[in-house]
A and B are shown apart, each in its own frame.
Chain A
Amino acid sequence: MRNRWVGLLLILTIFILLPILIIGVKLFTPFGETFRHLVDTVLKRYLFNTLVLTSMVSLITITIGTTLSWFITRYDFRGQRFFEVSLALPLVIPPYIMGFTYSEIFDYTGPIQSFLRNSMKLSQDMIPNMDILNMQGVIWIISLSFYPYVYLMVKSSMKRQSMGVIEMGALYGYSPFKIFWKLILPLSRPAIVAGVSLVIMETLNDYGTVKYFGVDTFSTGIFRTWFSIGDKDASVHLASFLLLFVLIILIVEKVSRRSARYDFSSLSYSPMVKIKLRGYREVLVILFNILVLSAGFFIPVLQNLIWLWETRVRMFSVKVFSTLGNTLLISFSSVVVIMLLALFLSYTYRLFTTRSIYLLNRVATIGYAIPGAIIALGVMIIFTTVDKGIIGVFKTLFSFNPGLIFTQSLLMLLFALTVRFVTVGYNSIDAGFSKIPQSINEASRSLGYTPLKTLVKVELPLLISAIISGGTLVFMELIKELPLSLILRPFNFETLATKAYEYATDEMVRESSFFSIMIILLGVISLIIINSLPKLIRKKTNG
């Protein structure tokens, strides 16, 4: 019986891995002529830019994320509870929307420069250069959009840290800063690493923002080689190198986490006591929080709302709501598929807890680390081959051409989104299962229920909260997703993200505001759901 479960797991894992494997094997093939041309000319620049981008973004997000977490967990100040929740808000704004918005804000014909010219009557030479469409600009934009990953991870880690550590530091005469730098920070290392890995993965995945800002990275290179030069082969080759890069990062992350112990077997745990901040210190902390929150959320949202109002007449049409419908359709379908898959993966491990199942699960959830361009290429190759094969078979056996089935449908996009985002659902469900003691499972089995029945009738109700929060997190990622949607969508199928991108890159950033606001709105609703879940559950259980 176990073999059936593991067999299915193996098959599913192979399916998921297929697009990535197809790209990976290219690493071992000789360079084609176009790829050699790329190596001679642009490869170094792609590598350099990708390295600079990821390292600078990592640095900035770590700095902002840990500083904010520290303020929130250690100190008590006015608005603290508001900030604690709202500092995660920039996550609902995809980096490309952040990018379009700010580039338009700072543009020559944008609000700032127009104001300086018209109302302040400044001549052009007196206006400083506000061009943000460069490497520095995109670094800041991406950091602003992704710092919440670090912030949330580190915050939950710091919350669990013992007051005892701080008291020990105080005993040694450490200043507050030294306590932070020498004690708290090293203890938060696994959370920082986890958070920044997410940031790096998302940054490597980004296509829309870097393209718009004119920064050539591996992602844009893959697109360019595929579409402009027209050499899919060389494009796959390029993708395989990016894959190598990603795998190295994953290995480094794994190794760095292994080498230290972070639990407190000897010290007894006492919860963190917050220091009340008053005076100039409080003001500074509040100002810093306001600054980050405004830059990362309020300013972009406000600006888009203004543009929404300005373009409301031109934009209001049936198309606009059908795009929303499409986004919801693909997102909900994907959430269902992903959560089912995640449930299966996690439950199989829970049933049999062998090392090989654990490894299979790790492999199946690798998709999140793989940039969308790579997955899109791999999926496209697979599905066109399958479709052509099917057509071939039908033609020879039945002399009938069924037409393209898979490549015309949403299935391709659905598959790619599953490959990419199953981790998110999996992590949530896995965490949910870990809170349900195995004894419940065992008791149910001893009373005669099959594993499947146990899952459905006993454990699923207990997992509701994890399923909802996991599903909502997946949903949040799906509505923002761009590279996969751009390449794999079927005929006439637009999502909010692809439409926003289309308008912005067609030099109509203001018109893209409707779609941007919709994405942001859906994201905010999702965040509210995730945040109120614990309260709702408590209300339900307290009756």
Chain B
Amino acid sequence: MKKTLLLLSVLMITFVSFASGNKEEVNVYTHRHYEADQALFDKFTEETGITVNVVKAKADQLIERLASEGENSPADILITADAGRLVKADSMGLLKSVNSDVLNSNIPANLRNRDGKWYGFTKRARVVVYNPTNTDVTELSTYEGLTEDKWAGKILVRSSSNLYNQSLLASIISHKGDEEAKVWAEGIVKNFARDPKGNDRDQMKALVAGEGELAIVNTYYLGLLLNSSEAEEVKVGEQLAVFFPNQGDRGTHINISGAGVTKSSKNTENAIKLLEYLSSVEAQEVFSSANYEYPVNPAAKTSDLLKSWGDFKEDNIDIAELGINNSEAVKVFDRAGWR
């Protein structure tokens, strides 16, 4: 009896280990963690019959996993919430070139890799939010201006371990070089209202709580606050306004959330179909209305909320730069003491 139990357990373990499937499917490794995404995947499955299997993890862990899995990885698509990671994945040889007229016409050239290795699907701007009753918007100008003494003890921003900050710094490294980027980072650290902690929404809550006066956040987080199911969070969002820095020079830093087909993909056709779906007007408008991100497809309409923030000049450096300078950005943060 005990021996059969033992045998059963061993069999169960090995069976579970080797479980596989045989249907039409596409395997997605994604860092995006928004409910809207699952709804889109489900819609895609409904329309095409292709099952979407999803693994969610931090982008770095996904890339690490792809790298160690090598050509045997089951992943077909890598989706990240930041351009830097896509570039990193590409530089590690993890993505393959795909050619699609649909993708090329739906997505502007500066928001996708020129060899078709990855494509941006949404845009997000990293902006400064403030409370109009307490802060005079004419005092705001650029990211660099945030290091001025008048903002001492007033800047709220999350940890440097976060991708969005790393990409912002990477863009500054691209435009101005290492040294100036370090000076900027040190300037912000000097003006911290508190040690970095929490996420973008926490910075906004802290602003309203009076802990600081300005918060550096991604635009869609404000959207998420304003549409939260918790009344308290909506109240926070309603007290804030958006300022797009650097309108007078290079433009506001934007980042993309995007995807690429993996080199090891076994379901390439299905993968391309999914990517094309995500770039379609229908999906793009879902990103805009359900997730408050800016669509990349010029034909897609933006939601009213996004329209209310106004148009702005985007920093249109090659998005790939965000990835190239990423690990340097992490080191600059360390040197500047930005935790």
Q: Which of B9, B60, B159 contacts A333 (CB 8 A)?
A: B9
B27 and A214 form a contact (CB under 8 A): no
- The yes or no answer to A109 lying at the interface (CB within 8 A) is yes
How far, in whole Å, are A37 and B327 apart by their CA atoms in the complex? 12
How far, in whole Å, are A134 and B194 apart by their CA atoms in the complex? 11
- The yes or no answer to B153 lying at the interface (CB within 8 A) is no
Contacts A108-B209, A109-B232, A456-B2 supplied; 10 other A-B pairs, CB < 8 Å: A109-B205, A227-B61, A228-B166, A230-B64, A232-B64, A333-B9, A333-B13, A410-B16, A410-B17, A486-B57
- The yes or no answer to B93 lying at the interface (CB within 8 A) is no
Q: Which of A226, A230, A384, A492 contacts B53 (CB 8 A)?
A: A492
A108 and B206 form a contact (CB under 8 A): yes
B residues contacting the other copy or chain, number (CB 8 A): 54
Q: Which 10 A-B pairs have the closest CB atoms?
A: A409-B17, A227-B60, A214-B197, A109-B232, A41-B334, A108-B205, A404-B72, A506-B33, A384-B68, A133-B197
Q: Which residue of A lies closest to B333 (CB)?
A: A41
How far, in whole Å, are A224 and B166 apart by their CA atoms in the complex? 13
A492 and B72 form a contact (CB under 8 A): no
Within 8 A of A (CB), among B12-52: 12-13, 16-18, 27, 33
B197 and A401 form a contact (CB under 8 A): no
Question: CB-CB < 8 A to A41: which residues of B?
Answer: 331, 334-335
Question: CB-CB < 8 A to A329: which residues of B?
Answer: 12, 16
Q: Which residue of A lies closest to B38 (CB)?
A: A319
A109 and B13 form a contact (CB under 8 A): no
Q: Which of A108, A133, A214, A408 contacts B339 (CB 8 A)?
A: A214
Question: Per-residue CB proximity of A483-505 to B under 8 Å, as 1/0?
Answer: 00011000110000000001000
Q: Which of A124, A227, A487 contacts B210 (CB 8 A)?
A: A124
B68 and A380 form a contact (CB under 8 A): yes
B1 nearest CB across to chain A (Å): 11
A502 and B199 form a contact (CB under 8 A): no
Interface SS, B side = helix
Q: Which of B69, B74, B233, B331 contacts A37 (CB 8 A)?
A: B331
Question: Per-residue CB proximity of B223-236 to A under 8 Å, as 1/0?
Answer: 00000001011001
How far, in whole Å, are A134 and B330 apart by their CA atoms in the complex? 22
A492 and B208 form a contact (CB under 8 A): no
A401 and B72 form a contact (CB under 8 A): yes
Contacts A214-B339, A228-B161, A487-B61; A108 near B74 (Cβ below 8 A): no
- The yes or no answer to B137 lying at the interface (CB within 8 A) is no
Q: List 15 A-B contacts (CB under 8 A).
A: A41-B335, A107-B202, A108-B236, A109-B230, A125-B210, A131-B194, A216-B339, A226-B64, A229-B327, A332-B9, A336-B9, A340-B6, A405-B18, A407-B68, A414-B13
B334 and A42 form a contact (CB under 8 A): yes
A515 nearest CB across to chain B (Å): 14
Question: CB-CB < 8 A to A332: which residues of B?
Answer: 9
- The yes or no answer to A114 lying at the interface (CB within 8 A) is yes
Q: Which of B53, B88, B330 contacts A491 (CB 8 A)?
A: B53
- The yes or no answer to B132 lying at the interface (CB within 8 A) is no
A residues contacting the other copy or chain, number (CB 8 A): 52
- The yes or no answer to B116 lying at the interface (CB within 8 A) is no
Q: Which residue of A lies closest to B199 (CB)?
A: A507
A491 and B55 form a contact (CB under 8 A): yes
How far, in whole Å, are A507 and B206 apart by their CA atoms in the complex? 15
A450 nearest CB across to chain B (Å): 16
Within 8 A of B (CB), among A4-45: 37-38, 41-42
- The yes or no answer to A349 lying at the interface (CB within 8 A) is no
Question: CB-CB < 8 A to A486: which residues of B?
Answer: 57, 61
A124 and B68 form a contact (CB under 8 A): no
Question: CB-CB < 8 A to B331: which residues of A?
Answer: 37, 41, 229
- The yes or no answer to A350 lying at the interface (CB within 8 A) is no
Question: CB-CB < 8 A to B69: which residues of A?
Answer: 404, 407-408
How far, in whole Å, are A107 and B198 apart by their CA atoms in the complex? 11
How far, in whole Å, are A114 and B233 apart by their CA atoms in the complex? 10
Within 8 A of B (CB), among A207-227: 213-214, 216, 224, 226-227
- The yes or no answer to A388 lying at the interface (CB within 8 A) is yes
Question: CB-CB < 8 A to B206: which residues of A?
Answer: 108
- The yes or no answer to B201 lying at the interface (CB within 8 A) is yes
A410 and B13 form a contact (CB under 8 A): yes
A228 and B17 form a contact (CB under 8 A): no
Question: Per-residue CB proximity of A113-155 to B under 8 Å, as 1/0?
Answer: 0100000000011000001011000000000000000000000
Chain B interface residues toward A at CB < 8 A: 2, 6, 9, 12-13, 16-18, 27, 33, 53-58, 60-61, 63-64, 68-74, 88, 159, 161, 166, 194-199, 201-202, 205-206, 208-210, 230, 232-233, 236, 327, 330-331, 334-335, 339
- The yes or no answer to A391 lying at the interface (CB within 8 A) is yes
- The yes or no answer to A411 lying at the interface (CB within 8 A) is yes
A507 nearest CB across to chain B (Å): 5
How far, in whole Å, are A531 and B114 apart by their CA atoms in the complex? 65
A108 and B208 form a contact (CB under 8 A): yes
- The yes or no answer to A186 lying at the interface (CB within 8 A) is no
B252 nearest CB across to chain A (Å): 23
Question: Per-residue CB proximity of A428-467 to B under 8 Å, as 1/0?
Answer: 0000000000000000000000000000100000000000
How far, in whole Å, are A42 and B331 apart by their CA atoms in the complex? 10
Question: CB-CB < 8 A to A125: which residues of B?
Answer: 210
B74 nearest CB across to chain A (Å): 6
A42 nearest CB across to chain B (Å): 6
Q: Which residue of A lies closest to B200 (CB)?
A: A507
Question: CB-CB < 8 A to A414: which residues of B?
Answer: 13
How far, in whole Å, are A19 and B298 apart by their CA atoms in the complex? 51
- The yes or no answer to A403 lying at the interface (CB within 8 A) is yes
Question: CB-CB < 8 A to A109: which residues of B?
Answer: 205, 230, 232-233, 236
Question: Per-residue CB proximity of A394-431 to B under 8 Å, as 1/0?
Answer: 00000001011101111100100000000000000000
Question: CB-CB < 8 A to A37: which residues of B?
Answer: 331, 334
Contacts A228-B60, A336-B9, A380-B68; A409 near B161 (Cβ below 8 A): no
B264 nearest CB across to chain A (Å): 10
How far, in whole Å, are A226 and B64 apart by their CA atoms in the complex? 9
How far, in whole Å, are A111 and B332 apart by their CA atoms in the complex? 39
How far, in whole Å, are A387 and B68 apart by their CA atoms in the complex? 10
A124 and B54 form a contact (CB under 8 A): no
Question: CB-CB < 8 A to B2: which residues of A?
Answer: 456
How far, in whole Å, are A456 and B243 apart by their CA atoms in the complex? 74
Question: CB-CB < 8 A to A224: which residues of B?
Answer: 161
Q: Which residue of A lies closest to B198 (CB)?
A: A133
How far, in whole Å, are A456 and B57 apart by their CA atoms in the complex? 44
Q: Which residue of A lies closest to B209 (CB)?
A: A108
B161 and A491 form a contact (CB under 8 A): no
A503 nearest CB across to chain B (Å): 9
B280 nearest CB across to chain A (Å): 26
B33 and A502 form a contact (CB under 8 A): yes
Within 8 A of B (CB), among A169-228: 213-214, 216, 224, 226-228
Question: CB-CB < 8 A to B57: which residues of A?
Answer: 486
Q: Which residue of A lies closest to B336 (CB)?
A: A41
B33 nearest CB across to chain A (Å): 4
B159 and A214 form a contact (CB under 8 A): yes
A127 nearest CB across to chain B (Å): 8
A124 and B195 form a contact (CB under 8 A): no
Question: CB-CB < 8 A to B16: which residues of A?
Answer: 329, 333, 409-410
Q: Which residue of A lies closest to B88 (CB)?
A: A230
Q: Which of A333, A409, A492 contacts B18 (CB 8 A)?
A: A409
